[in-house]
Amino acid sequence: MKTLCLLGSTRKNGNSEYLAGKILEGTDHTVVHLADKHIEAIHDQRHAEGGFDPVHDDYDELIELIFSHDVILFATPLYWYGMSGPMKNFFDRWSQYLRDERFNLKEELARKKAYVAVTGGTSAKIKGLPLIQQFEYIFEFVGMEFADYIIGAGVKPGEVKEDQIALAKAEAWNKGLRS
């Protein structure tokens, strides 16, 4: 089982990356730092005659990576009670790619299993729940299986290492992804 981790953090070696690393340790995986990719913001042309204009960025590469993996781990810090900007731009572009005749994105996504790892402040386990619901709605829309989520507590880099509940769940996921 191949896992693709889409990491939404703009901070290197932060809590989201640490938690994702614990989940992925020893598995067949690929990690993509969305902040390192050139992803143009959506220019909404859903209702324009002729549809969307081509965009020259790294998004096709990301779609191909999704297609070549079985499981997608979405890892993001909780920024202002939502997902990070790079992660949001990634999802916004689905509006374009669901209409792109080169890909059968919705069909392909329906074959994938999604996990979500969110990290944030000490209240994140409550304040992050609307974000989890947003992910649930996104996955429901495209028919993607939403396997599970973790919300880890940690603000400064490394603080999530103290969240034993999140780490135990990460370890359980890791065992499942390795089997």
Angle CA 9–130–73, to nearest 5: 40
* CB-CB contact of 97 with 105 (8 Å): yes
pTM, entire model? 0.95
What is the Cα–Cα distance from 165 to 74, expressed in whole angstroms? 19
Between CA 179 and CA 56 the distance in angstroms is 38
Separation CA 156–CA 120 (nearest Å): 9
Q: What is the largest CA-CA distance in the chain?
A: 53
Domains of the chain (ranges plus CATH)?
A: 3-178 (3.40.50.360)
Under a CB-based contact definition with an 8 Å cutoff, are residues 73 and 174 in contact?
A: no
pLDDT in tens, 14-34: 999 999 999 999 999 999 999
Q: What is the DSSP string of 36-89?
A: GS--PPP---TTSTT-PPP--SSHHHHHHHHHT-SEEEEEEE-BTTB--HHHHH
Residue with tokens 């990070």: 84
Give residue-wise pLDDT tens across range 109-120: 999 999 999 999
For the segment 137-174, what is each residue's pLDDT rounded down to a tens digit? 999 999 999 999 999 999 999 999 999 999 999 999 99
